[in-house]
Amino acid sequence: MLALENITKAYGTVFANYNASLKVETGEIHAVVGENGAGKTTLMRIACGELRADAGHETFDDRDVTGWNVNAAIAAGVGMVHQHFMLVPTLTVAENMILGREPFFLNPRISSQAVRELSESTGLAVDADARVSDLSVGEAQRAEILKALYHGATTLILDEPTAVLTPREIEELWKVLRGLREKGGTVILITHKLDEVMAIADTVTVMRNGQTVGQFKTNEITSDDLALAMVGREIPPAFIPARRTKNGAPVLEVEDLVVEHAVDGVTFSVSPGEIFGIAGVEGNGQHELIEAIAGYRRVTSGSILRGGVPIERTTVRRRGALGIAHIPADRRRRGLVLDYTVAENLILGRERSFGRFALDRMKMAIEAQRLITAFDIRPHDPRLLARQLSGGNQQKVVVAREMAGIRDFHVLLAAQPTRGIDIGAIETIHAHFRLARSEGRSVVLVSSDLNELLALADRIAVMLRGKFVAILDRDDATMETLGRYMAGAA
């Protein structure tokens, strides 16, 4: 039995965990659930010894193990399977497996054999001699789980394991987890997907804002109860219908677009004044699709037309001049120069409008003030570094620049625009999307939040393994139909 009590962990002034507690019984499948940024991963990394809490206790099998390290945890049979795989790409599966408990002189034959035996007994099919870099995502995850089991894990912690799996692979994973439970093992599952929790877990602990808000048995509650606990309020699927004046030539046309290893022939067009949503489990090519339309990912074949002009071979800058704006999925890496000030970030990509040689600082200051006010970017100081802002305000900087900055747009490509940010910022951004639509501008919205899509989009496409498997009108789109298409079951 694993228990965490009053765990607190802070990074600077931000509390990743605050007085969080968790009690997991042996032999159960226990889900830890919460929105992105709720602190689930941090808590579990403390549990398995990778991180040290600032305060709080941990007990394992009635032993006080507070502050233990990874080696002690592994020795006790607690192993973690990370969201971002901890496998060395240039080594084989077997070599990764034995890392940490190798004999002095390596014997590849013996280690391969051991891996193969374990693979068979657990039902996790993986090629022991394959290089990790050659594995598919599903295979790599199986290898990662196998690694934890090889190290003797009887308590397995999995961090968002289904994010990159196909529906069939998810079913296989459930089989493996149930098998482990049968043999007396314990499974802790970190996830933000409520349907998974209801499908596989016996017990669920809900986390919100770094704190644990409740523990429930899954056969005693409904997923609505869970959703309420996760966000602390009702989620109104409020859809404000667009004025149906979709006249005029399409502002964006994509035909048979192929992007290597990600997009396998996608065709769609967007009309003026339309919000076109793209739903799908992350990792099915949505981000690559957006990056290809934005201009910084190579297109293998196919065409992209912006207002009738082919742009699939033009530069990012040219596409911007033709009216394409872009909110990247990774705001910290792609959307902002974190070490630039807010004012400098607000002109990123548009710096040529502020001077050919010398930059017009007065003009920059005016622009910064205008956008900070319009989007209520806090703190209201253009000289702060973007790094110093909260996630929500950072995102507002990107949105302000792309939607209301000096360069006008006809089509906005928005990838996960509201991921990991607070309610207030979400509402601001949604309001601006609706405003754009009413002004005749269009938005291509990629989101893994079905509620967001159902609230905003006029049409919703479902992307699965690089293709659009459906394009539905809003009237025809429900949670269930979308879910079925996303799972490949429709």
Partner 1 sequence: MLRIATPYLFTAAGGTIAERSGIVSLGLEGYMLAGACGAAFGSYYGGNAWSGIVWGAAGGALFAAIHALATIRYRADQIVSGIAINILAVGATRFAIRVAFGSSSNSPRVSGGASGLLEFLGLLSILGVAGLINRTRFGLRLRAAGEHPEAAATVGISVSHIRAMAVVASGILAGLGGAFLALDQHQFSDEMTAGRGFIALAAVIFGRWQPFRAGAACLLFAAAEALEINLQGTSAIPSQFVAMIPYVLTVVALAGIVGRSVPPAALGKTGH
Partner 2 sequence: MKALYPVITGALIALVVGDLLILGVGQSPADVYRLLIEGTWGNPYGLAQVLYKATTLTFTGLAVALALRAGLFNIGAEAQLALGGFFAGAFGLLLPAGFPAPLAVILCIAAAATGGAIGGAIPGALNAWFGANEVITTILLNFVVLFFLNWVVTAHLHVPETVHTRALASGTVPRLSAVIPAFRGSAANAIIVLAIIAAIVTSWLVFRTRFGYELRAVGLSPDAAEAAGIIPARVRVATFTLAGALAGMGGTNFVLGYKHYYEDGFSGGAGLIGIAVALAGRTHPIGIMLAALAFATLSQGGLAIHALVPKQMADILQGVVILGIAVASRTKS
Residues that bind partner 1 (CB under 8 A): 50, 69-71, 74, 80, 82, 85-91, 95-96, 98-106, 147, 151
- C-beta of 150 vs 409, nearer to partner 2: 409
Determine, following the binding rule CB under 8 A, whether residue 106 of this chain makes contact with partner 2.
no
Q: Residue 88 Cβ, how far from partner 1 at the closest point, in Å?
A: 4
Determine, following the binding rule CB under 8 A, whether residue 26 of this chain makes contact with partner 2.
no
The partner in contact with residue 348, picked from partner 1, partner 2, none with C-beta cut-offs of 5 to 8 angstroms by kind, is partner 2
- Name the strands in the sheet holding 14-24, side by side, starting at the edge strand that comes first in the sequence: 14-24, 2-11, 55-60, 63-64
Here the tokens at position 266 are 């996608």
Residue-by-residue DSSP string for 397-437: HHHHHHHHSSS--SEEEEESTTTT--HHHHHHHHHHHHHHH
- C-beta of 280 vs 335, nearer to partner 2: 335
Listed residue (32, 34, 466, 7) closest to 265, CA to CA: 466
Dihedral angle, C-alpha 460, 466, 470, 471, nearest 10 °: 40
Determine, following the binding rule CB under 8 A, whether residue 285 of this chain makes contact with partner 2.
no
Window 290 to 329, contacts with partner 2 (CB under 8 A):
294-296, 315-317, 320, 326, 328
> Distance between CA 283 and CA 167 in Å, rounded?
13
- C-beta of 50 vs 253, nearer to partner 1: 50
Phi, psi of 211 (to 5 degrees): -115, 155
Return the residue of 334, 378, 465, 484 that touches partner 2, per CB under 8 A: 334
Determine, following the binding rule CB under 8 A, whether residue 417 of this chain makes contact with partner 2.
no
Q: Residue 308 Cβ, how far from partner 2 at the closest point, in Å?
A: 22
Q: Which 8-state DSSP code applies to residue 307?
A: T
- C-beta of 30 vs 147, nearer to partner 1: 147
Give the C-alpha distances (Å, rounded to integers) separating 328 from 293, 333, 445. Answer: 12, 9, 11
The partner in contact with residue 357, picked from partner 2, partner 1, none with C-beta cut-offs of 5 to 8 angstroms by kind, is partner 2
The partner in contact with residue 244, picked from partner 2, partner 1, none with C-beta cut-offs of 5 to 8 angstroms by kind, is none
The partner in contact with residue 388, picked from partner 2, partner 1, none with C-beta cut-offs of 5 to 8 angstroms by kind, is none
Q: Residue 358 Cβ, how far from partner 2 at the closest point, in Å?
A: 5
Q: Residue 431 Cβ, how far from partner 2 at the closest point, in Å?
A: 25
Phi, psi of 234 (to 5 degrees): -70, 145
The partner in contact with residue 351, picked from partner 1, partner 2, none with C-beta cut-offs of 5 to 8 angstroms by kind, is partner 2
Dihedral angle, C-alpha 392, 395, 399, 400, nearest 10 °: 70
Run of H or E residues at 470: strand 467-473
Run of H or E residues at 481: helix 479-486
Phi, psi of 371 (to 5 degrees): -75, -35
Determine, following the binding rule CB under 8 A, whether residue 240 of this chain makes contact with partner 2.
no
Q: 3-class SS at 312?
A: coil
Determine, following the binding rule CB under 8 A, whether residue 175 of this chain makes contact with partner 2.
no
Determine, following the binding rule CB under 8 A, whether residue 359 of this chain makes contact with partner 2.
yes
Residue-by-residue DSSP string for 23-64: EE-TT-EEEEE-STTSSHHHHHHHHTTSS--SEEEEEETTEE
End-to-end CA distance of the chain: 41
- C-beta of 68 vs 433, nearer to partner 1: 68
Q: Residue 280 Cβ, how far from partner 2 at the closest point, in Å?
A: 21
* Location of structure tokens 């669920």: 204
Determine, following the binding rule CB under 8 A, whether residue 338 of this chain makes contact with partner 2.
yes
Give the C-alpha distances (Å, rounded to integers) separating 97 from 79, 117, 127, 151, 310. Answer: 13, 13, 12, 8, 49
Give the C-alpha distances (Å, rounded to integers) separating 481 from 98, 224, 412. Answer: 44, 18, 26
- C-beta of 349 vs 483, nearer to partner 2: 349
Q: Residue 334 Cβ, how far from partner 2 at the closest point, in Å?
A: 4
Determine, following the binding rule CB under 8 A, whether residue 348 of this chain makes contact with partner 2.
yes
Determine, following the binding rule CB under 8 A, whether residue 426 of this chain makes contact with partner 2.
no
Strand-strand pairing, 467-473 and 459-464:
antiparallel
CB 177 within 8 A of CB 124: no
- C-beta of 63 vs 352, nearer to partner 2: 352
Here the tokens at position 465 are 């393994």
The partner in contact with residue 170, picked from partner 2, partner 1, none with C-beta cut-offs of 5 to 8 angstroms by kind, is none
Which range binds partner 2 by CB under 8 A, 22-30, 175-183, 337-345, 457-465? 337-345
Query: With contacts defined by CB under 8 A, how many residues of the chain interact with partner 2?
Result: 29
Determine, following the binding rule CB under 8 A, whether residue 427 of this chain makes contact with partner 2.
no
Determine, following the binding rule CB under 8 A, whether residue 362 of this chain makes contact with partner 2.
no
The partner in contact with residue 86, picked from partner 2, partner 1, none with C-beta cut-offs of 5 to 8 angstroms by kind, is partner 1
Which range binds partner 2 by CB under 8 A, 229-237, 330-338, 372-380, 441-449? 330-338
Q: Residue 459 Cβ, how far from partner 2 at the closest point, in Å?
A: 26
> Distance between CA 199 and CA 202 in Å, rounded?
9
Work out the burial of residue 248: count CB atoms within 10 Å of its CB; fewer than 13 is exposed, 13-18 middle, 19 or more buried: exposed
Q: Residue 105 Cβ, how far from partner 1 at the closest point, in Å?
A: 6
Q: Which 8-state DSSP code applies to residue 296?
A: S
The footprint of partner 2 (CB under 8 A) covers 294-296, 315-317, 320, 326, 328, 330, 333-340, 344, 348-349, 351-352, 354-359
